[in-house]
Chains A and B, each alone.
Chain A
C-alpha cells in the first residue's frame, strides 16, 4: 500500500516535471534577447558571428563580465581573468611571462591581448589548441599556475550568491548553474570586446585624414606586413614561424609548449609557428611575441629587418628579412600608433556599467 502511494507520487511528480519543461519552451518571451553588436566596415569581416549553441544576450554578457572580474573564482580568491587581461592594457598584463597566478610560478607563454575574438575561429591560444572560447575558459580557470580553481568549488560559490543566482536565471532561464553555462557567459562577454574605433577606423570610414608620415607608414605596412597581419583584423588568424628561434627545446615535463603550432598539428612545417597576433592596440600591449621577449616596437622591427633566424619552417616571405631604414621604421611605428583604440578601452573598464 505504502509502496503504491510512493509510485503514484513519483509518477505525478514525473508528469509534472515533463509539463514544466514543455511550458518553458512556450514561454519564449522570457528568454534573454539576442544581442548583436554593430560592426564597422573597417574590420573587414562582414557581420558578427553568433555561435549556435551560445547566442549572445545582454543578460549573458552582464553575467560574463562579472565572472571575468571576479577573483573569487580562483583557488586563493586573488586572481581573476582580469589579473592577466587588464582592460586598460587592451586586456594584457605588461609583463613578458605572468607570475601573478595563484602559485606565483611563471607561465610559459605571454598573455595575449583580448579583442575581436568572435572572429577567431581557427583556434585560440598562441598555438590554436583551444577550439572555441567556451572550451578555452576551463584552461585558465583550472590551470594550476593561473586560477587553480576546482570547477565544483566554483559552482558551490556561485550557487551561494544571490546576485549570481539572479544573473544566471536571467541569462539562462530554468537551467541549473553548470560549468557549461558559466563558461558560455564568460565567452559571451569576451566576444563583446570589439576594437573597431581607432583613428585608423575613423580614417577608413572617411571621418578623419592621415598626415603624410602616417600615410607613408600605412604603405610600408601594406607592402611588408599585411600578408600576415591582414588589414581589418590585422591578423590572418593563421600560424607562421616569424623567425624568432633557430631550434626549439622540448623538455619532457612541458608537453611540447615550446614547439609552437606543431604541438597541436604534429606537422613539422608548424615548428615554431604561432598565431599571428593582431596589430590593433599594439602600442598598449608591450612586451611582444609569444614569450614577451621584445620590450618595444623598435626591437620588433629590428628583429624583422636583421634578426630573422633561418630554419626549415620559417615563413617564406621572411627569408630575406624585412630591411627598413630608420625613417621607414619611424613612419611604420607612426602608422601603428593609429591602431590604438581608446574608445574601446574606456568602454570596457571594469567600473563602466555601459554594457554591452
Chain B
C-alpha cells in the first residue's frame, strides 16, 4: 500500500516537472472520501451513544458496504471518466477512501456510483481484490455479495433488553445507482470529493423501520431487505 502511494508521488512528480506552468495538466489526482454518520453524528463503533430515527438506543458493531462503478462527469463538455474494475469495499474502521489516482483533467461536476455490485460481478464469488470472498461479504448459500452490512444492538421497546440487529442486504434488485452534483473540482487540480453516509437513512425514507416492531431482527433477504434497499437508494449517501 505504502509503495503504491510512493509510486503515486513519483508519477505526480513526473507530471508536474514536465508540464509548463500555465497549461492545464492533462491529468488530475482525484480521491473520494466517505464519512459515516448516524443521526448527524460521526459514527463510532461499539459506543452506546446513538439513537435511531425511531428513538431506540442503538450501538453499531459493524458497518460495511460496497461502492462500485464510479463515474465522474463534466456535463458542460460531456466528458466522462469511467473507472474500470470499479469495486470498493468501504466501512467504519475499515476503508474510508477510494483513490481514483491520476485521471484525465476535466471540470467534473457530477459523480455517479452504485451501492452494491452489478449483476455480472454478483453472479460469482471466486474473485480477487475487494470482491475476494475473504472479506466476509460473500454469501454461503446463495452465490453473491452482501451489498450493505449493518450489525449492532438496540434496546427493545417492550422488553427493554439489548437485542441484536443484523442487516445483510444484497440481491440484484437492491443494486442502487446514485448520481450527485459536485462543486469545486477544477481541471488539472488535485481534488478530494467528500461524501457522507447516513445510517439513519437505512431506517427511513420512504420505508420507516422500527426494529422493536420487526418480526425478525435478522434481515438477510425478503421484503424487509428490499425496503432497506429502497431506503438506501436515495439519501443514504450525500455530498458532504
Task: Mark out the residues of chain B between 1 and 18 whose CB falls within 8 Å of any chain A CB in the assembled complex.
Answer: 3, 6-7, 9-10, 13-14
Assembled-state Cα–Cα distance A179/B135 (Å): 11
Q: Closest residue to A14 on the B side, CB-wise?
A: B7
Are A142 and B7 in touch, CB under 8 angstroms? no
Q: Return the contact of B216 from the options A135, A252, A257 (Cβ within 8 A).
A: A252
Which of B20-28, B47-55, B140-148 is the interface stretch?
Answer: B140-148
Assembled-state Cα–Cα distance A278/B132 (Å): 33
Task: Mark out the residues of chain B between 76 and 130 whose CB falls within 8 Å of any chain A CB in the assembled complex.
Answer: 123-128
List residues of chain A with CB within 8 A of the CB of B218: 252-253
List residues of chain A with CB within 8 A of the CB of B138: 135, 138
Q: A134-B124, A183-B126 are in contact. Are A6 and B6 (CB under 8 A)?
A: yes
- Proximity bits, A1-29, B CB within 8 Å = 1, else 0: 00000110011001000000000000000
Q: Return the contact of A151 from the options B6, B134, B143 (Cβ within 8 A).
A: B134
List residues of chain B with CB within 8 A of the CB of A184: 126
Q: Closest residue to B140 on the A side, CB-wise?
A: A139
Assembled-state Cα–Cα distance A61/B2 (Å): 37
Minimum distance in angstroms from A271 CB to a CB of chain B: 14
- A209 in contact (CB, < 8 A): no
Assembled-state Cα–Cα distance A237/B128 (Å): 30
Q: Return the contact of B133 from the options A127, A179, A252 (Cβ within 8 A).
A: A179
Are A134 and B126 in touch, CB under 8 angstroms? yes
Are B133 and A136 in touch, CB under 8 angstroms? no
Minimum distance in angstroms from A135 CB to a CB of chain B: 4
Minimum distance in angstroms from B231 CB to a CB of chain A: 20
Assembled-state Cα–Cα distance A178/B127 (Å): 9
Task: Mark out the residues of chain B between 199 and 222 whose CB falls within 8 Å of any chain A CB in the assembled complex.
Answer: 215-216, 218, 220-222
Q: A7-B10, A180-B128 are in contact. Are A130 and B134 (CB under 8 A)?
A: no
Assembled-state Cα–Cα distance A266/B171 (Å): 12
Chain A interface SS verdict (over half): helix
Q: Return the contact of B141 from the options A130, A134, A151, A266 (Cβ within 8 A).
A: A130
List residues of chain A with CB within 8 A of the CB of B221: 255-256
Are B143 and A142 in touch, CB under 8 angstroms? no
Task: Place the interface of chain A in its size category.
Answer: 35 or more
- Proximity bits, A137-167, B CB within 8 Å = 1, else 0: 1110011000000011001000000000000
Q: A131-B124, A264-B142 are in contact. Are A255 and B220 (CB under 8 A)?
A: yes
Q: Closest residue to A123 on the B side, CB-wise?
A: B143
Q: A134-B126, A135-B124, A180-B127 are in contact. Are A152 and B140 (CB under 8 A)?
A: no
Are A180 and B126 in touch, CB under 8 angstroms? yes
- A132 in contact (CB, < 8 A): yes
List residues of chain B with CB within 8 A of the CB of A134: 124-126
- A125 in contact (CB, < 8 A): yes
Q: Closest residue to A130 on the B side, CB-wise?
A: B143
Are A179 and B132 in touch, CB under 8 angstroms? yes
List residues of chain A with CB within 8 A of the CB of B222: 266
- A129 in contact (CB, < 8 A): yes
Minimum distance in angstroms from A13 CB to a CB of chain B: 9
Q: Return the contact of B10 from the options A11, A132, A252, A256 (Cβ within 8 A).
A: A11
Size of the chain B interface, CB-CB below 8 angstroms: 28
List residues of chain A with CB within 8 A of the CB of B128: 178-180
Q: Return the contact of A132 from the options B3, B134, B143 (Cβ within 8 A).
A: B143
Minimum distance in angstroms from A204 CB to a CB of chain B: 34
Q: Return the contact of B140 from the options A11, A138, A179, A183 (Cβ within 8 A).
A: A138
List residues of chain B with CB within 8 A of the CB of A256: 221
Minimum distance in angstroms from A8 CB to a CB of chain B: 9
Minimum distance in angstroms from B9 CB to a CB of chain A: 8
Q: Closest residue to B125 on the A side, CB-wise?
A: A135
Q: Closest residue to B132 on the A side, CB-wise?
A: A179
Are A10 and B132 in touch, CB under 8 angstroms? no
Q: Closest residue to A125 on the B side, CB-wise?
A: B141
Assembled-state Cα–Cα distance A127/B139 (Å): 15
List residues of chain A with CB within 8 A of the CB of B126: 53-54, 134-135, 137-138, 179-180, 183-184, 187
Q: Closest residue to A131 on the B side, CB-wise?
A: B143
Assembled-state Cα–Cα distance A6/B138 (Å): 39
List residues of chain B with CB within 8 A of the CB of A253: 218
Assembled-state Cα–Cα distance A77/B163 (Å): 35
Excluding A11-B10, A179-B134, 18 further A-B contacts by CB distance (< 8 Å) are: A7-B9, A125-B141, A127-B141, A130-B141, A134-B124, A135-B125, A135-B138, A135-B143, A142-B133, A151-B133, A151-B134, A152-B134, A178-B128, A179-B128, A180-B132, A183-B126, A263-B142, A264-B142
Where the two chains meet, the residues of A that have a C-beta atom closer than 8 Å to any C-beta of B are: 6-7, 10-11, 14, 53-54, 125, 127, 129-132, 134-139, 142-143, 151-152, 155, 178-180, 183-184, 187, 252-253, 255-257, 263-264, 266
Where the two chains meet, the residues of B that have a C-beta atom closer than 8 Å to any C-beta of A are: 3, 6-7, 9-10, 13-14, 123-128, 132-134, 138, 140-144, 215-216, 218, 220-222
Closest 10 pairs (CB-CB, A-B): A134-B126, A131-B143, A135-B143, A129-B142, A180-B126, A135-B125, A151-B134, A139-B140, A7-B10, A252-B216
- Contact sample, A vs B, 12 pairs, CB 8 Å cutoff: A130-B142, A132-B124, A135-B124, A136-B143, A138-B126, A138-B140, A180-B126, A180-B127, A180-B132, A252-B215, A255-B221, A256-B221
